[in-house]
């Protein structure tokens, strides 16, 4: 019997949080891992080996995704799973967002993700196989106060993923979506951009309540390793299932929204945030 081929995953945003946890988990499972990040030279936790390569990728760079695909293929010869995990979040009132912040929100979370899909799709099509996994959020299914721009970008990826499920599925390529709830990562420090509403004092009482609720919620966040396990489960699931919730809060709130309806759930969210 022929020896089973080692599978390869490409992880975007692998320098921290969910991406790093995923790179570590797949490496521990015997996979080849192409761990992409904006600055591989600054990474010290993910040590390169024959089965793990650090690759430069800034999804906002026009040629970045295609170069990352080429580097992963040079290292491992084939890509079996591509994980779109790199993300950015704008936090605060929409009115306070600058054009640059709003554009970055969609450049990273939507347009950069699309560029990655376009870069890896030819390889998947040639093989008539492959799995594309997009990390969205519970915030792609329901909104969270003061995250309107971030939610809008994740809603977009949810819709995009459904369309890709049809298009790529017809070619033997699986499309999966991971929907985490609150996760204990440093997303809030390095990838979250607080919008400056200081010139709009009307928002101050609202934002103080939101920040207090956010603090309460993040204290009970799930670890990124939980999301990594969900990603592994999706990557190894041969079915055409698309969505995978990650975290107890995700499994609680999303069914509740479906049960109550959007408007009732939004009123409930008002009570949770005390706004």
Tens of each residue's pLDDT in the chain, 275 residues: 456 789 999 999 999 999 999 999 999 999 999 999 999 999 989 999 999 999 999 999 999 999 999 999 999 999 999 999 999 999 999 999 999 999 999 999 999 999 999 999 999 999 999 999 999 999 999 999 999 999 999 999 999 999 999 999 999 999 999 999 988 765 445 567 999 999 999 999 999 999 999 888 888 788 999 999 999 999 999 999 999 999 988 888 888 888 999 999 999 999 989 99
54-to-40, 60, 68, 203, 271 alpha-carbon distances in Å: 6, 18, 10, 43, 44
What is the DSSP code (8-state) at residue 185?
S
pLDDT of residue 1: 45
Domain boundaries, the chain: 8-273
b vs e for 152-161, b when ≥16 Cβ sit within 10 Å of the residue's Cβ?
bbbbbbbebb
The architecture that CATH gives domain 8-273 is: 3-Layer(aba) Sandwich (3.40)
Structure tokens that stand for 199 in this block: 């010139």
Phi-psi region at 90: left, alpha or beta (left = phi > 0; alpha = psi -120 to 50): beta
pLDDT of residue 112: 98
Catalytic residue among 88, 147, 150, 197: 150
Catalytic residue list contains 150: yes
pLDDT of residue 192: 79
pLDDT of residue 120: 98
Structure tokens that stand for 203 in this block: 């928002």
Report how far residue 109's alpha carbon sits from residue 212's, in angstroms, rounded to the nearest whole number. Answer: 26
């Amino acid at each position: 019997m022929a020896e089973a081929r080692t599978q390869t995953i490409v992880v975007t945003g692998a320098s921290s949080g969910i991406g790093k946890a995923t790179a570590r988990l797949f490496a521990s499972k015997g996979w080849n891992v192409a761990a992409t990040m904006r600055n591989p030279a600054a990474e010290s936790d993910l040590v390169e080996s024959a089965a793990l390569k650090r690759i430069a990728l800034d999804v906002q760079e026009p040629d970045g995704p295609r170069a990352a695909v080429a580097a992963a293929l040079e290292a491992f010869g084939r890509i079996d799973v591509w994980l779109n995990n790199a993300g950015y979040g704008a936090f605060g009132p929409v009115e306070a967002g600058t054009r640059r912040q709003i554009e970055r929100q969609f450049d990273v979370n939507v347009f950069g993700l699309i560029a990655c899909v376009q870069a890896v799709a030819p390889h998947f099509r040639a093989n008539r196989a492959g799995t594309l996994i997009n990390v969205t959020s519970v915030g792609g299914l329901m909104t969270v106060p003061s995250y309107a721009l971030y939610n809008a970008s994740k809603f977009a990826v949810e819709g995009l993923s459904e369309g890709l499920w049809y298009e790529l599925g017809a070619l033997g390529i699986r499309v999966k979506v991971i929907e985490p709830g609150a996760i204990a990562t440093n997303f809030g420090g390095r990838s979250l951009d607080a919008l400056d509403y200081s010139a709009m004092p009307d928002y101050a009482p609202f934002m103080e309540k939101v920040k207090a609720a956010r603090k309460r919620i993040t204290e009970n966040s799930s670890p990124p390793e939980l999301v990594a396990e969900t990603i592994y489960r999706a990557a190894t699931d041969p079915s055409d299932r698309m969505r995978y919730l990650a975290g107890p809060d995700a499994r609680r709130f999303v069914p509740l929204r479906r049960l109550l309806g959007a408007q009732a759930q939004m009123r409930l969210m008002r009570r949770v945030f005390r706004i």
